[in-house]
């Protein structure tokens, strides 16, 4: 088994659509990124499999994909939104 480590990172995104597809994680009670559109502001930063920890300091743990998507949509007009993600790094990335 390859050892792994989690890293948490924050991104400030502008107003508008993010181009993220969110789903429920089968292993945790959290929302996870399922896909990132190529033309998304977050493309190249956020990857499929990253867990969404918070949106504008609102804890997303246990909210589920539908509620997290609604939260993101409610804030789509905000000039800046802070997203905190967690990614599991493989041994070669640590």
Q: Has this prediction a pTM greater than 0.75?
A: yes
Q: What's the mean per-residue pLDDT of the chain? A: 89
Q: pLDDT at position 5, please?
A: 84
Tens digits of residue pLDDT in 8-53:
999 999 999 999 999 998 888 889 999 999 999 999 999 999 999 9
In words, the CATH class of domain 5-89 is: mainly beta
- Under 8 Å between Cβ of 50 and 89: no
CA angle 65–4–83, rounded 5-degree value: 35
Higher-confidence position of 4 and 3: 4
Any idea where the domains of the chain sit in the sequence? 5-89
3-state secondary structure of 26: coil
């Amino acid at each position: 088994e390859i050892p792994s480590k989690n890293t948490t990172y924050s991104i400030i995104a502008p107003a508008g659509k993010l181009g993220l597809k969110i789903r429920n994680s089968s292993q945790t009670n959290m929302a996870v990124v399922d896909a990132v559109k190529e033309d998304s502001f977050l493309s190249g930063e956020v990857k499929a499999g990253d867990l969404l920890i918070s949106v504008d300091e609102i804890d997303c743990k246990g909210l589920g994909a539908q509620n997290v998507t609604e939260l993101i949509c409610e804030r789509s007009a905000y000039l800046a939104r802070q997203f905190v993600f967690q990614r599991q790094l493989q041994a070669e990335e640590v």
